[in-house]
Amino acid sequence: MRPPKKFHEGTSNRLAALLEQAVDLAEYRRIQSVLMRSRNNMDAASIAALTGLGVNTVRILHSRFLREGEACLLSRRGKRKQDVESQPKSGATAKDERSPARVEALPPDANENIRTGPECNKTKTTVGMTVTLRDVAARAGVSHTTVSLALRNSPTLPAKTCDRIRRHAEALGYRPDPRMHELMDAMRARRINRRPDTLAYLIAYPDRETWKKDQSLFRYYEGVRAQANACGYQLEIFWLYEPGMTDRRLGEIIRNRGIDGVIIAPLPRSQLLFQDFPWHYFSAVELGYSLAKPRLCRACHNHFLSMQRLVNRLHARGYRNIGLAMEEGQDTRVLHLWRGAFSAAADLLPGKRRIPMLVPETWKREYLEAWLKKYRPDVVISVGMEVCRWLAADRIHKKDTPDFATADLLSAMGDTTGIDQNSQQIGVAAVDLLISLMRTNARGIPAVPRIVMVEGEFVQGTTMHVEKLTPFNHPAAARAVR
């Protein structure tokens, strides 16, 4: 077996530097060319150890680069052949004697020229033209590094400069290489001797630890933390109500820590907070709808669809007298989507008796008992633990207690029928959305916020009938007999 070849320190440093600065297709090709030039000094395992890439990835880069070099050579030779054929025949014509099948056997200098030439460092457009970052830089009169920063909306450049360079790029037909994000993600995930970038998780509960006792809130956090770690970031919690803390001071602390992305956890209720927070420094994503202003990009549950799905399931089981009872604040924090979806379902489902919704400002058990006595629903839909507990207690003493289903299923409710909102997946979606904003340097309050919704799942429990109701087993029939 041939012993591994040694590598030169200077070459390895240059290789590592190029990998760190890779921003577009041209830089990606430069990485490949350095890898090819380095094969006389180091083996694939040594390159992998230096770059943080896998050995297989290094080998794939080698083989892919050879294929692209061959295609580039054939393209150039075909173009030269067309030029020669279009010229009048007079005397001897220049002819390339080398065979395309011998591309890999060309002299090292020739191979290097082919791989690193401007025709290989290109982006294809719909009209067949090729454009690189350096082409855009020459057109705009700036360096290719400035072009890269401008196309990523870097805050280090004036907005007018970014707009001008983007117009030049569009005029030339420049298109970025989507594979670069995959390469940079792989490099970030494989770095060992490096402190990971940090994302800020903002908490605005009056007590530092209270939110962890709420199952939904904690599942949001678990999803955010797991996805941040999977993407090469670490998550750090910042509490708004630290002694002497203000919105602006919190923002400055996060900025001075070098953190670019923040996630705002759900608030105790829908309210105005973070009004003096310096949003223009950060890419920001909100969990849910509880932050009244400003309107940020958000990841949330699809409340409207879940309520309609729950009502449809109850209707399919034979329930016709379906009631909705919840505290007004629970509906307000989701922009009244609960009530809107319930009303829409009541209008669309045939044979369903319309029961007025019970949505008081504050919960009292007397309100619920009076409402049940007056309208006698077969099943009650609610959010939160109060109605679930009250009906469970009544079921012990009263035989005509209606069935129950929740639009937000929590583990503390036991074997209850309802909708699992997939809170952990909402946290995952929030991190994915935030990273997409950070990659494009989309900072501040967006003119048009993006919303990513996660669907819930219906879970059958013991608080409603599993089989379809008939005149013989319907709760209303049982009450009539009694």
- State how far the Cα of 163 lies from the Cα of 145, in Å rounded to an integer: 15
Residue 8 lies in a domain: yes
Are residues 337 and 448 part of one domain? no
Are residues 394 and 443 part of one domain? no
Residue 441 lies in a domain: yes
Asked whether the predicted pLDDT for residue 176 surpasses 70, the reply is yes
Are residues 444 and 382 part of one domain? no
Q: Residue 5 has what pLDDT?
A: 40
Asked whether the predicted pLDDT for residue 295 surpasses 80, the reply is yes
Are residues 281 and 430 part of one domain? yes
Are residues 400 and 447 part of one domain? no
- Closest among 438, 451, 424, 452 to 185, alpha carbons compared: 438
Residue that is last in its domain, among 90, 121, 152:
121
Are residues 439 and 351 part of one domain? no
What are the CA-CA distances from residue 284 to residues 15, 90, 141, 335 (Å)? 34, 68, 33, 20
Residue 446 lies in a domain: yes
Q: Which of 20-24, 204-208, 358-362 has the lowest mean pLDDT?
A: 20-24
pLDDT digits (tens, 9 = 90+) for 15-50: 544 444 444 444 455 555 555 555 445 566 666 655
CATH code of residue 331: 3.40.50.2300
- The mean pLDDT of 340-349, rounded to a whole number, is 87
Average pLDDT, the chain: 75
Residue 443 lies in a domain: yes
pLDDT-based confidence at residue 122 (cuts at 50, 70, 90):
very low
pLDDT-based confidence at residue 135 (cuts at 50, 70, 90):
confident
Residue that has been written with the tokens 């829409």 in this structure: 344
pLDDT-based confidence at residue 273 (cuts at 50, 70, 90):
confident
Residue 94 lies in a domain: no
Percent of the chain with pLDDT over 70: 65
Are residues 358 and 475 part of one domain? yes
Asked whether the predicted pLDDT for residue 381 surpasses 70, the reply is yes
Host domain of residue 59: 1-79+103-121
pLDDT-based confidence at residue 119 (cuts at 50, 70, 90):
very low
- Closest among 307, 243, 305, 241 to 274, alpha carbons compared: 241
Residue 137 lies in a domain: no
Are residues 469 and 450 part of one domain? no
Q: Residue 325 has what pLDDT?
A: 93
Are residues 231 and 313 part of one domain? no
Are residues 250 and 272 part of one domain? yes
Query: 283 φ, ψ to 5°?
Result: -90, 130
pLDDT-based confidence at residue 82 (cuts at 50, 70, 90):
low
pLDDT-based confidence at residue 386 (cuts at 50, 70, 90):
confident
CA 455 remoteness from chain centre: 15
pTM score over 0.85: no
Q: State how many domains the chain has.
A: 3
Are residues 325 and 286 part of one domain? no
Residue 186 lies in a domain: no
Are residues 75 and 6 part of one domain? yes
Residue that is last in its domain, among 64, 94, 121:
121
Residue 226 lies in a domain: yes
Q: Residue 151 has what pLDDT?
A: 83
Asked whether the predicted pLDDT for residue 209 surpasses 70, the reply is yes
